[in-house]
Amino acid sequence: MTARVKIDDLCAWFGDQQVLYDISTSIKDRAVTAIIGPSGCGKSTFIRCLNRMHETIPNAHRTGQVLIDNADIYDHTVDPVTIRQRIGMVFQKPNPFPRMSIYDNVVAGFRLNGTARRVNLDQIVEESLRQAALWEQVKDRLKEPGASLSGGQQQRLCIARALAIKPEVLLMDEPCSALDPAATHRIEDLIHKLKKNYAIVVVTHNMQQAARISGDTGFFLDGTLVEFGRTKGIFTNPKDKRTEDYITGRFG
């Protein structure tokens, strides 16, 4: 499998406070990479650096490179807007737009940047909702507000919204932490299907989840990437003592 995203010496700050230290690793295409670690270890900041969301926070900045297909997304000629269209993101709490219908939520990416007239919206809505395994449940009520769905359905709507703009990489920041076990199970199934077409990075608190869904796992602690490798290896035979302590539940 080929590397899709390469991260080189990535450091990140909020104001004067450094939160990531010299992260270097690579993300494989058509596979799931899990990012685990205790709260505040920098895992969310790490994935937010991969689609330039980190810099939307006032006073936040970073150094180092993030390469997609060998091109640096932080090159000064690159518009962050195009990067975010290529690298989709799903957030911890489902956040459909409350004033938009289910239909409009799915195509929000096109509506927001004024490209809705250039594409076949109906087709995109059906395709994206099918990919997110939500089509059958909502096809007869596409005009209803997105907020009328259950939490798990809202999260799948957000996944459909991210997929609609045809990203190459999908970042998921604890996508199941606000969901019940049944909804979590459905999202995990979905991630399993989506990895056939996308490079997926999932931040999770839940180590069983990381073990279930991912091929590679990275363990973060205090802003450093302690260990990165095949998920099976990390969970059965961790090389670093701190990784072992974390996955055996000794802290965090």
The answer to whether 90 and 158 are in contact (CB under 8 A) is yes
Tell whether residue 158 is a contact of other proteins (CB under 8 A): yes
Contacts of 123 (CB under 8 A, 6+ apart): none
Binding segment for other proteins among 7-15, 154-162, 203-211, 218-226 (CB under 8 A)?
Answer: 154-162
Neighbours of 163 (CB within 10 A): 24
Closest CA to 214 of 197, 229, 236: 229
Asked if 52 contacts 78 with a C-beta cutoff of 8 angstroms, the reply is no
Q: Does 161 bind other proteins (CB under 8 A)?
A: yes
Of 203, 205, 195, 198, which Cα lies nearest the Cα of 173? 203
Task: Kindly state the smallest distance separating residue 224's Cβ from other proteins, in Å.
Answer: 26
Instruction: Specify the DSSP element, H or E, that contains 72.
Output: strand 71-72
Among 36, 108, 194, 225, binds other proteins (CB under 8 A): 108
Cβ 89 to other proteins, closest distance in Å? 4
Contact letters (x/-) for other proteins, 197-216, by CB under 8 A? --------------------
Number of residues that bind other proteins (CB under 8 A): 29
Instruction: Pick from 13, 21, 74, 91 the residue near other proteins by CB under 8 A.
Output: 91
97 binds other proteins (CB under 8 A): yes
Which residues, 6 or more positions from 133, have their beta carbon under 8 angstroms from its beta carbon? 156, 186, 189, 190, 193
User: DSSP labels for 115-143?
Assistant: -GGGS-HHHHHHHHHHHTT-HHHHTT-TT
Give the span between the Cα atoms of 204 and 171, in whole angstroms. Answer: 11
Helical (H) or strand (E) element with 186:
helix 181-194
Among 6, 28, 30, 93, binds other proteins (CB under 8 A): 93
Interface pattern 49-88 for other proteins (x via CB under 8 A): --x-x--x-x----------------------xx-xx--x
Examine residue 145 and tell whether it contacts other proteins (CB under 8 A). Answer: yes
Among 16, 39, 76, 98, contact with other proteins (rule: CB under 8 A): 98
Which residue in 113, 150, 236, 237 binds other proteins (CB under 8 A)? 113
- Residue 12 CB coordination number (10 Å): 23
147 near other proteins, judged by CB under 8 A = yes
When asked if residue 111 is in the footprint of other proteins (CB under 8 A), the reply is yes
Q: Which of 35, 49, 102, 162 binds other proteins (CB under 8 A)?
A: 162
Tell me the backbone φ, ψ of residue 43, rounded to 5 degrees: -70, -40
Q: Which residues bind other proteins (CB under 8 A)?
A: 51, 53, 56, 58, 81-82, 84-85, 88-89, 91, 93, 95-99, 108-109, 111-114, 145, 147, 158, 161-162, 165
